[in-house]
Amino acid sequence: MTLPPLAAVVSPSHGPSLPTSTISACRRGAVVPRRRRRACNWTTARSRGTAARISCSSTLVVVDEAAASYTEAGLITVAKPIYVKMKATVTIKDYLSHSIMSLISSKVLHLELVSSNLDSQTGKVKESIPGSAYYCGLDIIHVHNKFACEATFDVPVWFGSIGAVLVENMHDTEMFLVDIVVAPEEDLSAKVIFEGNSWINAKSAETEKQHVFFPLKSYLPCETPPGIESLREGELKAIRGEGTGKRNKFDRIYDYDVYNDLGKPDEGDALTRPVLGGNEYPYPRRCRTGRPRNDKDPSSEKVGHYVYVPKDEVFSSSDNMDFLWTKGLGSFLPTVWTFLQKSLLKERKGKSFPSFSAIDSLFDDTVQEKPPSTGSMLIETALKFIRALRSSVPLEEAIHEALQGLKFEKPRLVDGDKFAWFRDEEFARQTLAGLNPLSIRLVTEFPFVSKLDEEEFGPRESGITKEVIEEQIGRVMTAEEAVKKKKLFMLDYHDMLLPLVNLVRELDDTTLYGSRTLFFLTEKGTLKPIAIELSRPKGKPPSPVKPWSQVFTPQQCDATGSWLWKLAKAHVLAHDSGYHQLVSHWLRTHCCVEPYIIATNRQLSRMHPIYRLLHPHFRYTMQMNAKSRSGLINADGIIEQTFSPGRYSMTLSSLVYRDHWRFDMEALPADLIQRGMAVEEEDGTLTLTIKDYPYANDGLLVWESLKEWTSDYVKHYYSSAADVTGDKELNGWWDEVRTKGHADKQHERWWPRLDSRESLIKVLTSIMWVTSGHHAAVNFAQYPLAGYFPNRPSIARKKMPVEEGPDREERMDSFKAKPEMELLQVFPSQYQAVLVVTVLHILSSHWPDEQHMGIHVEPAWKADPMINAAFQRLQGNMLRNEGIIDQRNLTEDLKNRCGAGVMPYELFKHACASEPGKGLPYSISI
């Protein structure tokens, strides 16, 4: 067995060096002339036992006594293995349950060093070198709940480079391992860092006793050092699991399942929900939890408080607590939900606000340096309620007393302009720069025609006629000319919502329509709403109700028409709010990304460069999705309680996935083109149909920055198309995304093929855009824009007073007598409003340890000079983007983002935890 060159062990810092010819020959059994030995300042010294120390400069080499013998010819004979003293320093986080004394007095971790090379004689994996790590509290400064432990090893030089470290936890409490640094004890600059960011199971755990960690250097599968190939393959096999059995909290197993955990059939038929995925309701897959089946409905899982998430996807406990207490909440949404539902507002669940002043009283008008947190406000309100009850005050008075203290931070929109929500200009502006800028589309055909069955849903041709359009645009052009000149745009929820109308109307205290909203592009580059059409299908048999549809237009000289227009806007806003939350936000980001995360962990090794590129884009998403299934999108959850589709919310999400979702349209340029909001020129550049479209203008800056970063990254690791097609892990990943993660769409022909570097760049950029830019655009302005719920009501509870029906005259009389009260009764109830505002305040917030694009750099990126240089370019581009965005927000000609009281568009700027309304994290972490 040959030794590596001695130069790999000895690095003199003074005196002349050994000639290269001598170094290359310095192997087992080789000799070094005495004169060269002296020139290199070698010294020998006897020590206890049979060992001797031979030192050169600062590097210490431990050898057998016989390894340094002199011959009559004056030569040093290297006859036996040489050992290097190595030290491994392990950084641990979130480990406070054990006392410091117990850590000092006992072994914390068992480590094993694994060679990158095979044994040259046997061709097998070399035997690993074990060591024990102990707490080194005297040498470490505790920061952010971190501490270090150390282990030392005698590593023979023939062992080769260290390719992996195996770690076993020797305590009864799990630990979060940040990283491992291995270096020669006398030359710490020659360190090798092993990437961690993973939980280590307690020794009492039933599975995965040893956890493998790889160095920061990334390897394609074909480049993997032979000594760790089996570890690379074995880790992936363990993470995939076998698709059976119960999942435990300490597991790291990623597997697929359908959405069969949204209902609660054992609590009654009213809480039964259809399974989404694999049947008549196509849907992406979520992570398999292994929970038992429901006794009453075997197609559904039993649901409870705990929902399995692979351990490495779970929030760091300290970060979790930092965030929750920063927001003033001792726990997450379930606590808020229980408080609101069972104590304070249950008695007012269906009650409308009596006036707009009552709505305004929810928000704090006082100037404060630091606004109160949502949690602290709720806690104070609860205490007031309890104190009032204890003083024998009647329940209604106790509720009224408590509500006086329920004050939310004033949302940014109305803080800048109290009446912005009331104006048509703001209604139109937010289709381009609001919470849901992804639904507005260019009108390319006229007249507007439905694809639904005419007998059931009414006439296919829209009631928005040529005469209506031309009257509203002052007859400056014909309707046909307006279409040809790209002047007409639409929010079209007609065919999407109409099939659900009768189902939703069977629910209490809500209603629904199919809707079309038409806008005209003015010479100033702003949109003007000119018509809203609300439609109702015929009633379900044996109902004699016929289809009904009516067009509403802005009215300036007609009080009744003006108020009907305001009511119609409220209904459209409720439709857009539901689509935003269930499709633009939940489906297209949280839900569709989870299969990418599962496939990435199952098919790409942690040392794969694409895994390391995608990893920050997936941080915490799976746990957020699990929490959503437990409290937001589940049966009788917050979404069903507060949004128009009610119990059919997830059905709507499934139908949109079935009919409209395509991976190739998730790229921002492709999405803009298919909606007619941009045109691709011959040179590949995009021209926007509406020049001042803040979401598109700023989003394309982020897209191009992401694409350049991804291109630099991919081309560094893949030199040709053959490298892409020959990467077995990469192709296994993409195949699994399609055939398992999105199994209901696996046969669609629009799926891209990974057959070149360019196709890989486009696929990766699309995924990274969805998790970062797309999600930021639809999430972080929720409270600033929708916190004042009249601006974006989540639900419309009362049908239009002019709708045909036996009680039409009575409804019209009530409406004409008090039109303002009619609008208040359409808006969410007191209960729904407070619940929605509370949740939006939380969802618009940033985690304290959030990783922002162009700021956070992964250790593996920084370790490679070429990748680090590419990241520096990304960082520079993001800083440049911020400057461009700031300048745009100050440009008065851009009316959709600049003007008196207009909220600037800042969703693609960096942010901190206290800045809702801006921020560009890598991942969907809230």
Q: Which residues belong to the active site?
A: 585, 590, 775, 779, 926
**Sole residue written with tokens 């609590």:** 267
Query: How far apart, in whole angstroms, are the C-alpha atoms of residue 258 and residue 239?
Result: 19
Q: Report CA-CA distances (Å) from 466 to 120, 478, 482.
A: 84, 8, 10
Q: Report CA-CA distances (Å) from 919 to 227, 415, 837.
A: 43, 20, 20
Q: Which residues contact residue 284 at a Cβ distance below 8 angstroms, ignoring those fewer than 6 apart?
A: 277, 591, 592, 594, 595, 657, 741, 742
Query: How far apart, in whole angstroms, are the C-alpha atoms of residue 494 and residue 141?
Result: 62
Query: How far apart, in whole angstroms, are the C-alpha atoms of residue 46 and residue 59?
Result: 17
Of 317, 177, 836, residue with least CA distance to 623? 317
Q: Is 885 exposed, middle or buried (0-12, 13-18, 19+ CB in 10 A)?
A: buried
For residue 586 the two structure tokens come to 């939940």
DSSP for 157-208, written as a single string: GGG-SEEEEEEEE-SSS-EEEEEEEEEETT-GGG-EEEEEEEEE--TT-SS-
Query: How far apart, in whole angstroms, are the C-alpha atoms of residue 888 and residue 715?
Result: 33
E strand or H helix at 724 = helix 721-725
For residue 399, report the phi and psi dihedrals to the nearest 5 degrees: -65, -45
Query: How far apart, in whole angstroms, are the C-alpha atoms of residue 748 and residue 238?
Result: 31
Q: Which residues contact residue 261 at a Cβ distance below 8 angstroms, ignoring those fewer than 6 apart?
A: 289, 291, 300, 301, 303, 307, 629, 634
Query: How far apart, in whole angstroms, are the C-alpha atoms of residue 454 and residue 460?
Result: 6
With beta carbons less than 8 A apart as the criterion, state whether 665 and 598 touch: no
**Omega of the bond prior to 447 within 30 degrees of 0, cis?**
yes
Q: Is 488 helix (H, G, I), strand (E, B) or coil?
A: strand
With beta carbons less than 8 A apart as the criterion, state whether 44 and 54 touch: yes
Query: How far apart, in whole angstroms, are the C-alpha atoms of residue 696 and residue 699?
Result: 5
Of 171, 103, 112, 167, residue with least CA distance to 140? 103
Question: What per-residue string of b and e applies to 152-168 under the rule 16 or more CB within 10 Å gives b?
Answer: ebebbbbbbebbbbbbb
Of 669, 693, 630, 584, residue with least CA distance to 924? 584
Query: How far apart, in whole angstroms, are the C-alpha atoms of residue 725 and residue 451?
Result: 42
DSSP 914: T
Q: Is 226 exposed, middle or buried (0-12, 13-18, 19+ CB in 10 A)?
A: middle
Largest CA distance in the chain: 122
Question: What per-residue string of b and e applies to 415-451 under the rule 16 or more CB within 10 Å gives b?
Answer: bebeebbeebbbbbbbbbbbbbbbbbbbbeebebebe
**Sole residue written with tokens 């050169």:** 56
Query: How far apart, in whole angstroms, are the C-alpha atoms of residue 15 and residue 18?
Result: 10
For residue 111 the two structure tokens come to 């480590």
300 forms beta bridges with none
With beta carbons less than 8 A apart as the criterion, state whether 183 and 191 touch: yes
